[in-house]
Amino acid sequence: MENLTLLKIRLSVLWIIMGVAGYRCTAYFESGVIESIKAGEWAAFQTPAGMLFVTLQWLIPFFMAFLVLTLKDKTNRWTNIILGIVFTVLNIVHLIMHFTLVPLTVHAILIVGSTVVFTALITWYAWKWK
């Protein structure tokens, strides 16, 4: 029982760290994002679908931090595996974008790179869950 509780706490903390890191990278390290959002010029917020996608990308990790502590074990495990894989892929795409499309900053690379590690760890822990 104690190991399961520790696993759930680890997963919950990883989801929180993932959410904070993702928000921090977008809102702070990407040059001019806040000004672009205020002016309504940021590409992700120019369409309702884009706005919904970015909002969900920020909210799902925080929601998952709660669900990890409340869902039944089998549902919990598979939800973490599936969303862990989805977010790992999204974060890898985001990392590639930093190398190709947006100005390269060490801070952004470290934060986005760490989100890849966090979500990969979420997937790994959930996969190893007995």
Helix and strand numbers, DSSP H then E, in the chain: 5, 0
Q: Which residues of the chain have pLDDT under 50?
A: 1
Q: What residue numbers bound the domain in which 30 lies?
A: 2-128
Q: Rounded CA gap, 23 and 55, in Å?
A: 10
At 1 the pLDDT is 47
Distances, alpha carbon 84 to alpha carbons 1, 94, 113, in Å: 23, 15, 15
Non-local (6+) Cβ contacts of 69 within 8 A are 8, 9, 12
Number of domains in the chain: 1
19 membership: H or E segment, kind and range = helix 2-24
At 74 the pLDDT is 95
At 94 the pLDDT is 82
At 128 the pLDDT is 94
